């Protein structure tokens, strides 16, 4: 008993989160005996008191509460979890964790790395399905706190997986745990704001989800700064011609005959060195030395996001039952606007055709945009890097990702607010008709840029893709208001959460489609270039016959830039790698357009018993 910390508090009154514990002069032993408490009991009571702070009953707003105090907390949470849209900045360093300046034989491929983002989006939708109904019972503070711990903790687990080069652990951390944080953090602010702003549902959803779209705007410069701060250049062994190398089993080694030693190396070509920037020179580098800075970046981000989200979660308040803005009355029901004054239960909503039409609309709209978001930085350098080598640098591509976030965020607020005036159905029709034309225009712009090298085509690509991403974000922000119009506001959180399974599906469909189609185009281009290269030159350059091409491709020894150095007169096929993808995305929007046009008001038989007419 002598070691119990209660002894040090003798004669004091300690208040732990609302629970008073009186420490009397009689001494700790008598206190514990008379009250039946132990030090562990005190800690348990303190923990329970802390949990009580998260209860829904503790965050009901008092009379006269200003509803405009809630949006900043909602936006703060969405800004943190919205950093997922800057994921493409992590693709290059994650594909070079061993080679650092160029992919080594043991490095993860782009297709493997993109799956991290895909898994996160899948678990966003799955966790939101659960969180939507839980939110209505537990309240936004408890859900937001759980989201903070998952999102921040996911980064820390991903950092460990990257450090130990265990891809499954990165999938678990950022993908599964972090994805759950995304879903929990996504639904709580949206449902809360719609309840505070029933008079402006589109604007309310736009305010909350605007933060999610703007997350990359904050995260892009932050991520770039952290990666640069923690990056460490690998050991430079010399220029390619000055270092003796040999390739065995698809792995390149530097040979030091004086000490009879070999070590794995990566060879950085001139084109790739230019894209890296920062004065990196082409040549031979020792694999396994240096660092891309990704591990330390994950640790800093995980801790920072967790703290910010916890503060925001504790700022949440909910309106009392039956509250409505002073002087406001619910609008009359009209078939043209499809706005109901009644409510549909979350389970019942699953039996309506409107739920599945909205699910299709959201899934296909997201699929068309999310795949491009996952590889935005890579796509910019692929399509325009050769046409504008002095313009499209690594910094330029990062700025492009930043501007995607700006338009994604602005589009969420703009289009959601416009839907209050135009109607949700009309806004989605605009998205899909205009989006099909814009996606189909991207291959033409890329071809013209390669042929003419006129800067106007790069500007055109900027304009087209920024408009696409504004509508992509607008689709997310408008869907909660669309749900509340059709199914009522009471269960919007639960129904929205279940509808976000469409996002999970799109998180697989979009990135998988774009990476598979791009990879197929890349492999075809490499095979075509290799067939045009002299076989002897190929052997001299790569240390293996052209018959071993597939193995050399798999281990990143043979790439398009290195083949082009052997055939400088050949046309660089890189700008055409995304043509098929863009046409496929346009096709998805065409299907979504049909689904949207089929949406009609919900049949009265689905209304809750208390609302049935």
Residue 122, classed as helix, strand or coil, is: helix
Question: What confidence category does residue 557 fall into, taking pLDDT thresholds of 50, 70 and 90?
Answer: confident
Q: Are residues 228 and 262 in the same domain?
A: no
pLDDT at 433: 96
The domain that contains 519 carries what CATH number? 1.20.1250.20
Last-in-domain residue among 30, 53, 76: 53
Q: Are residues 466 and 593 in the same domain?
A: yes
Whole-angstrom distance, CA of residue 54 vs CA of residue 134:
13
Residue 564 lies in a domain: no
Residue 62 lies in a domain: no
- List the structure tokens of 552: 């050399």
pLDDT at 1: 41
Q: Are residues 148 and 188 in the same domain?
A: yes
Question: What confidence category does residue 408 fall into, taking pLDDT thresholds of 50, 70 and 90?
Answer: confident
Q: Are residues 242 and 356 in the same domain?
A: no
Contact present, 526 and 553 (Cβ < 8 Å): yes
Q: Are residues 73 and 18 in the same domain?
A: no
Residue 342 lies in a domain: no
pLDDT at 17: 38
* Structural domain boundaries, residue 277: 236-286
Residue 36 lies in a domain: yes
Contact present, 96 and 102 (Cβ < 8 Å): yes
pLDDT at 77: 94
Q: Are residues 23 and 77 in the same domain?
A: no
What is the total count of domains within the chain? 3
**Above 90 in pLDDT, residue 612?**
no
Residue 336 lies in a domain: no
Most confident of 27-31, 501-505, 522-526: 522-526
What is the mean pLDDT of the segment spanning 262-266?
A: 89
pLDDT at 359: 95
- List the structure tokens of 75: 């936006």
**Above 80 in pLDDT, residue 116?**
yes
The conformational region for residue 324 under phi > 0 = left, psi -120 to 50 = alpha, else beta, is: beta
- Rg over CA atoms, the chain: 28
List beta partners, residue 252. Answer: 247
Q: Are residues 121 and 41 in the same domain?
A: no
Q: Are residues 447 and 587 in the same domain?
A: yes
Residue 563 lies in a domain: no
Q: Are residues 272 and 296 in the same domain?
A: no
Question: What confidence category does residue 570 fall into, taking pLDDT thresholds of 50, 70 and 90?
Answer: confident
Whole-angstrom distance, CA of residue 301 vs CA of residue 110:
22
What is the mean pLDDT of the segment spanning 414-432?
A: 90
Q: Are residues 85 and 153 in the same domain?
A: yes
Residue 488 lies in a domain: yes
Residues 6 or more apart whose CB falls under 8 angstroms from that of 3 comprise none
Of the candidates 129, 139, 228, 133, the residue with the CA atom closest to the CA atom of residue 182: 129
- Percentage with pLDDT > 90 across the chain: 30
Q: Mind listing the pLDDT tens digit for each residue in 273-288?
A: 877 766 788 999 999 9
Q: Are residues 99 and 132 in the same domain?
A: yes
The CA-atom distances, in angstroms, between 414 and each of 53, 80, 423 are 36, 21, 13
pLDDT at 446: 86
Q: Are residues 450 and 487 in the same domain?
A: yes
Contact present, 586 and 367 (Cβ < 8 Å): no
pLDDT at 512: 78
pLDDT at 144: 93
Question: What confidence category does residue 343 fall into, taking pLDDT thresholds of 50, 70 and 90?
Answer: confident
Pairing of strands 283-286, 13-16: unpaired
- Estimate to the nearest angstrom the gap between the alpha carbon of 519 and the chain centroid: 22
- List the structure tokens of 251: 């792995």
pLDDT at 374: 65
What is the mean pLDDT of the segment spanning 297-319?
A: 95
Residue 567 lies in a domain: no
Mean pLDDT is lowest, of 36-40, 523-527, 532-536, for 36-40
Q: Mind listing the pLDDT tens digit for each residue in 184-218?
A: 998 888 888 888 888 887 787 777 778 887 787 88
pLDDT at 611: 53
What is the mean pLDDT of the segment spanning 234-239?
A: 90
Q: Mind listing the pLDDT tens digit for each residue in 12-64?
A: 443 433 444 444 444 444 444 444 455 555 545 555 555 678 888 888 889 88
Whole-angstrom distance, CA of residue 561 vs CA of residue 412:
39
Whole-angstrom distance, CA of residue 457 vs CA of residue 462:
9
pLDDT at 610: 58
């Amino acid at each position: 008993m002598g070691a119990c910390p209660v002894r040090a508090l003798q004669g004091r009154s300690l208040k732990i989160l609302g629970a008073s514990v009186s420490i009397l002069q009689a001494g700790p032993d008598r206190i514990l005996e008379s009250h039946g408490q132990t030090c562990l009991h005190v800690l348990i009571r303190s923990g329970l008191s802390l949990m009580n702070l998260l209860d829904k009953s503790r965050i009901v707003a008092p009379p006269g509460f200003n509803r405009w105090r809630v949006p900043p907390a909602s936006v703060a949470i969405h800004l943190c979890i919205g950093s997922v849209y800057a994921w493409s900045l992590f693709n290059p360093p994650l594909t070079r964790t061993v080679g650092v300046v160029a992919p080594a034989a043991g490095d993860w491929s782009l297709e493997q790395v993109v799956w991290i983002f895909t898994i996160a989006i899948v678990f966003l939708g799955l966790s939101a399905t659960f969180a939507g109904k839980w939110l209505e019972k537990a309240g936004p503070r408890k859900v937001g706190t759980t989201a903070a711990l998952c999102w921040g903790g996911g980064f820390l687990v991903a950092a460990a997986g990257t450090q130990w080069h265990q891809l499954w652990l990165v999938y678990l951390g950022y993908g599964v745990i972090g994805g759950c944080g995304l879903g929990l953090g996504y639904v709580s602010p949206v449902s809360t704001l719609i309840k505070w702003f029933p008079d402006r549902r589109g604007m309310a959803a736009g305010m909350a989800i605007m933060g999610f779209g703007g997350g990359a705007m904050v995260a892009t410069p932050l991520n770039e700064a952290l990666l640069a701060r923690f990056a460490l250049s690998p050991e430079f062994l010399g220029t390619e011609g000055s270092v003796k190398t040999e390739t065995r089993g698809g792995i390149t080694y530097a040979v030091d005959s004086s000490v009879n030693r070999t070590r794995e190396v990566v060879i950085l070509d001139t084109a790739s060195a230019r894209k890296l920037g920062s004065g990196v020179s082409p040549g031979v580098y020792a694999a396994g030395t240096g660092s891309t800075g990704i591990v330390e970046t994950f640790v800093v981000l995980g801790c920072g996001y967790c703290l910010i989200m916890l503060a925001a979660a504790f700022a949440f308040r909910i309106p009392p039952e039956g509250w409505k803005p002073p002087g406001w009355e619910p609008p009359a029901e009209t078939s043209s606007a499809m706005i109901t004054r009644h409510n549909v239960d979350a389970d019942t909503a699953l039996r309506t055709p409107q739920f599945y039409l909205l699910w299709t609309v959201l899934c296909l709209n997201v699929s068309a945009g999310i795949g491009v978001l996952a590889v935005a930085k890579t796509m910019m350098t692929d399509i325009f890097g050769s046409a504008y080598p002095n313009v499209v640098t690594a910094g330029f591509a990062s700025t492009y990702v930043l501007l995607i976030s700006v338009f994604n965020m602005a589009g969420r607020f703009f289009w959601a607010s416009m839907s209050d005036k135009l109607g949700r159905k009309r806004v989605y029709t605009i998205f899909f008709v205009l989006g099909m034309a814009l996606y189909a225009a991207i291959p033409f712009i890329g071809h013209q840029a390669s042929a003419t090298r006129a800067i106007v085509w790069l500007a055109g690509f900027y304009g087209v893709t920024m408009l696409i991403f504004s509508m992509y974000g607008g689709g997310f922000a408008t869907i909660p208001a669309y749900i509340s119009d059709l199914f009522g506001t009471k269960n919007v959180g639960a129904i929205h959460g279940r509808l976000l399974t469409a996002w999970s599906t799109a998180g697989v469909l979009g990135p998988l489609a774009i990476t598979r189609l791009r990879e197929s185009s890349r492999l075809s281009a490499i095979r075509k270039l290799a067939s045009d290269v002299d076989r002897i030159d190929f052997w001299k350059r790569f240390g293996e016959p052209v018959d071993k091409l597939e193995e050399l491709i798999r281990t990143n020894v043979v790439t398009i830039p290195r083949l082009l150095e052997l055939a400088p007169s050949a046309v660089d096929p890189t700008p055409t790698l995304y043509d098929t993808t863009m046409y496929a995305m346009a096709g998805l929007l065409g299907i979504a357009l049909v689904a949207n046009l089929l949406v009609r008001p919900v049949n009265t038989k689905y209304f809750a018993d208390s609302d049935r007419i």
